[in-house]
Amino acid sequence: MYTDLWNYALALYAKPGVEAACLDLQAQGGDVCLLLCATWLQARGVAVLDQRAQALREVAEPWQREVVAPLRSLRQQWRAAAQGDAQLMVLREHVKGLELQAEKALLERLQDCARQWPADAHEPAGDWLARLAPDQARHHDALDGLRVAATALQDAEDGV
């Protein structure tokens, strides 16, 4: 089992269909880092509690709004212009790297937030993805795809 969220997220994101599902969920207003954290907590058997979900949102929302979103917006704004401008393409790649570093920092912050929550609790874990997905994405096929990929990753880790 992946003990750290970053390596878990990298492994899950590399699974077929996960990148597309995450981008679809992001387009629906989902926070991909928060959703990857949800699947990690689910795999670890951490019980879903309202105050835990709220604590994760309180970590994620300002970081997404103030750090990740501006970097993503700049990178996206430069997409077309960078196709014909080699120097801008290099700068865009730097911004893309900063965006990835910001997402890694967010995953580390989410992991720190969840550090004291017991794994493999005796009570039912609940559904972290349903709790942390935005309302408009709760019945989206991409959320189901992410859930299936996370279960397959966990099964592979468990040797099932």
Q: What's the pLDDT score for residue 102?
A: 98
53, two tokens:
């979900």
Q: What's the pLDDT score for residue 70?
A: 98
List Cβ neighbours of 23 (8 Å cut-off, separation of 6 or more).
none
Report residues of the chain scoring pLDDT below 70.
Answer: 1-2, 121-124, 160
- Distances in Å between the Cα of 70 and the Cα atoms of 6, 67, 77, 90, 95 are 22, 6, 10, 18, 10
- Rounded distance between C-alpha atoms, residue 55 and residue 77, angstroms: 32
Q: What's the pLDDT score for residue 95?
A: 98
- Rounded distance between C-alpha atoms, residue 86 and residue 6, angstroms: 31
Q: What's the pLDDT score for residue 122?
A: 66
Residue-wise DSSP of 81-125:
HHTT-HHHHHHHHHHHHHHHHHHHHHHHHHHHHHTTSPSS-SS--
List Cβ neighbours of 104 (8 Å cut-off, separation of 6 or more).
6
